[in-house]
A and B are shown apart, each in its own frame.
Chain A
Amino acid sequence: MRNEKNNKVMKNTHTIMPQISKEKVRELKLRANEIRTWVIKMVYTAQSGHPGGALSAADILAVLYFHELRIDPKNPEWRERDRFVLSKGHASAAYYAALAMRGFFPENELLTFRKIDSFLQGHPSLIVPGVDMCTGSLGQGLSAAIGMSLAAKLDGMNYRVYALLGDGEVEEGNVWEAALTAATRKLDNLVAIVDRNKIQLDDFTDKMVVLDPLEEKWNAFGWKVLSINGHDIVQIIRALDEARKTKDKPTVIIAHTVKGKGISYMENTAKYHGKPPQNEEEYKLALKELEEERRRI
């Protein structure tokens, strides 16, 4: 990744963080690979959906759902659970895959994604077990996460709240309203993760508005800022650990990622933001590449 100079997490915390076992890292890499495989199967079966931003977020979701979040799939509404808001709701395929793999509902439901009789709505809805907030209209999830974080503080509960945002999404003004408020209220139980894949629906984010220096903007808004490679399991885990240790301010993790990560023809293009593999050849190639990656892990 290009952001070596911003790599504060690795540089600052490597020595003080406990070792993360190779087995754990391998397990999470396999989970991310499994999420990506589901994403391809789901959007291809549905002939609809958003693979690009789901694939870029797969490693982050794998770490959240198989390492970080305190949740109980048998009791999705458990009051003390950590909350997660997928603010970039169009990455729903990866989100639902993680939820199903974690046991919130049967995996065979995943292939009903976006179909008329399915509870797996195109964008996250509260009817899906394990979903904490409806999202889809971009820019709103961080506000809901603030509400959850305030509720935790009001009730003296120690659950944490996570929101995953797209980088195109942070073009929405509502995000910066939320950024101001979260810092003002010192919400150290709140973590925002920005999936910085640099591409939005129409084009590269930079062609729309210039977001960089994105880290400096969040820093200026009063957040603890961590910049990582969003496909590096160890870096994701360490950033989340670092966030937990941070007091009196919310943490944002700028996760530098690749749009369409893992599928050669989907990487670094806006074409597959909202389109499934275009034919059986593309579909088979995607699955083949993921299978090859799985064998390498």
Chain B
Amino acid sequence: MNWEYESPRKAYGETLVELGKEREDIVVLDADLSTSTKTAMFGKEFPHRFFNVGLQEQNMMGIAAGLARCGKTVFASSFAVFATGRAYDQVRQSIAYPNLNVKIVATHGGVTVGEDGASHQMIEDIGLMCGLPNMRVIVPVDSHEVRRVIRFVASQDGPFYVRLTRTALPNLTSKDDEFVFSRGTLMRDGSDATIIATGIEVSYALLATEILKKEGYDIRVVNMSTIKPIDKGIIIKAAKETGAIMTVEDHNIYNGLGSRVAEVLVENYPVPMRRHGMRDVFGKSGRWDALLEHYGMDEKGIAREMREFLKEVKK
């Protein structure tokens, strides 16, 4: 496929700067990772509205809550592992419970963090954040969508968790597309089965369908950018029309996209289903693309998984 690749982190930083120019109430916090999360771009333009608190993720989330309580629209960024894991209780008690206007935008989600290894590869953040009342969870599919999502969450009151990846992503949507919150999007139609994917895995799912097409399988692909609240309609429709669903995510198969989709299916329209992603193991060091291959989360791995799944379904 002839995709144009772009850094979602850079798109985030650029959008923050635009928002900062438009709105005085936007403030940004980081915990010593601003050159990686790209919030430093905002800090350079608006130093008085940028608070780099040092290595204090817990304190950062509490400060974010206090700023929000005084009317600020707050963006707080770190790597996914620290923003959600290290500061979970602060996010729970000081942001989600009082329903404060804090947007936690975490970069470096998933195993695709790469060489830093398991300590930095967050594969349970979607589960942690989805479990919090009041928290809404979005995983933008590409950099165009990052821009739309950041603008969207800035326009809404209350807490959001936005998960970005470290690596550049292919632009699968166009610049002028609209972001519709809590709506999945059909990326490719198909009738034999559906892959519901999120984030970086959507492009690999699309590539996998090309492999499977040559083998005579016609696979639908749905991009699920909003994980919570999830688009039940598109899941049930896919179940009815294709009869089998596989989820793919750069996250543990427990408590992530797969679990959310399974909940919808079991309660509404049970069909054979398979969850694909990190299979309850910690990652390891390596290049991000080598890791995707290793864990079967590249196009070949996804095609292999779908092939086995279809065999099972047809039995």
Given the complex of chains A and B, what is the CA–CA distance between A83 and B53 in angstroms? Answer: 22
Whether B62 pairs with A150 at a CB distance below 8 angstroms is no
- A143: chain B residues at CB < 8 Å are 58-63, 65-66, 90, 94
Q: Who on chain B is nearest to A157 by CB?
A: B70
Given the complex of chains A and B, what is the CA–CA distance between A78 and B69 in angstroms? Answer: 12
Does A142 lie at the interface of the complex (its beta carbon under 8 Å from any beta carbon of B)? yes
- Neighbour of B65 across the interface among A125, A133, A174, A178, CB < 8 A: A133
Whether A147 pairs with B68 at a CB distance below 8 angstroms is yes
Whether A136 pairs with B93 at a CB distance below 8 angstroms is yes
Does A173 lie at the interface of the complex (its beta carbon under 8 Å from any beta carbon of B)? yes
- Neighbour of A146 across the interface among B63, B90, B93, B98, CB < 8 A: B63
- Neighbour of A134 across the interface among B51, B67, B71, B97, CB < 8 A: B97
Whether A147 pairs with B64 at a CB distance below 8 angstroms is yes
Q: Who on chain A is nearest to B49 by CB?
A: A154
Whether A181 pairs with B98 at a CB distance below 8 angstroms is no
Number of residue pairs A-B, CB distance < 8 angstroms: 102
- Per-residue interface assignment for chain A, residues 131 to 152, with 1 indicating a CB less than 8 Å from any chain B CB and 0 otherwise: 0111111011111111111111
Does A285 lie at the interface of the complex (its beta carbon under 8 Å from any beta carbon of B)? no
- Neighbour of A181 across the interface among B27, B63, B71, B99, CB < 8 A: B63
Whether A181 pairs with B93 at a CB distance below 8 angstroms is no
CB neighbors of B among A140-176 (8 A): 140-152, 154-155, 173-174
- Neighbour of A148 across the interface among B49, B58, B69, B92, CB < 8 A: B69
- B62: chain A residues at CB < 8 Å are 140-144, 146-147, 174, 178
Does B274 lie at the interface of the complex (its beta carbon under 8 Å from any beta carbon of A)? no
Does B72 lie at the interface of the complex (its beta carbon under 8 Å from any beta carbon of A)? yes
- B94: chain A residues at CB < 8 Å are 133-134, 140, 143-144
Does B315 lie at the interface of the complex (its beta carbon under 8 Å from any beta carbon of A)? no
Number of interface residues of A (CB under 8 A): 33
- A149: chain B residues at CB < 8 Å are 66
Residue from the set B58, B60, B68 with the largest chain A CB neighbour count within 10 Å:
B58
Does A297 lie at the interface of the complex (its beta carbon under 8 Å from any beta carbon of B)? no
- B314: chain A residues at CB < 8 Å are none
What secondary structure prevails in chain A residues at the interface with B?
helix
Whether B54 pairs with A181 at a CB distance below 8 angstroms is yes
Does A216 lie at the interface of the complex (its beta carbon under 8 Å from any beta carbon of B)? no
Q: Who on chain B is nearest to A149 by CB?
A: B66
Chain B, interface size category, equals 20 to 34
Q: Who on chain A is nearest to B93 by CB?
A: A137
Given the complex of chains A and B, what is the CA–CA distance between A100 and B263 in angstroms? Answer: 45
Whether A144 pairs with B65 at a CB distance below 8 angstroms is yes
Q: Who on chain B is nearest to A159 by CB?
A: B70
CB neighbors of B among A75-118 (8 A): 79, 83, 85
A67 → B minimal CB distance (Å)? 24
B57 → A minimal CB distance (Å)? 9
CB neighbors of B among A222-246 (8 A): none
Whether B65 pairs with A147 at a CB distance below 8 angstroms is yes
Whether B59 pairs with A174 at a CB distance below 8 angstroms is yes
Q: Known contacts A140-B93, A143-B90, A143-B94: does B69 contact A132 (CB below 8 Å)?
A: yes
- A202: chain B residues at CB < 8 Å are none
Q: Who on chain A is nearest to B67 by CB?
A: A147
Q: What are 22 sample pairs from A and B whose C-beta atoms fall under 8 A apart? A: A85-B66, A134-B97, A137-B89, A140-B58, A140-B62, A143-B59, A143-B65, A143-B94, A144-B63, A145-B66, A147-B64, A148-B69, A148-B70, A150-B63, A151-B67, A151-B69, A174-B58, A174-B62, A177-B58, A178-B63, A180-B56, A181-B59
Which residues from chain B sit less than 8 Å from chain A, CB to CB? Answer: 27, 48-49, 51, 53-54, 56, 58-72, 89-90, 92-94, 97-99
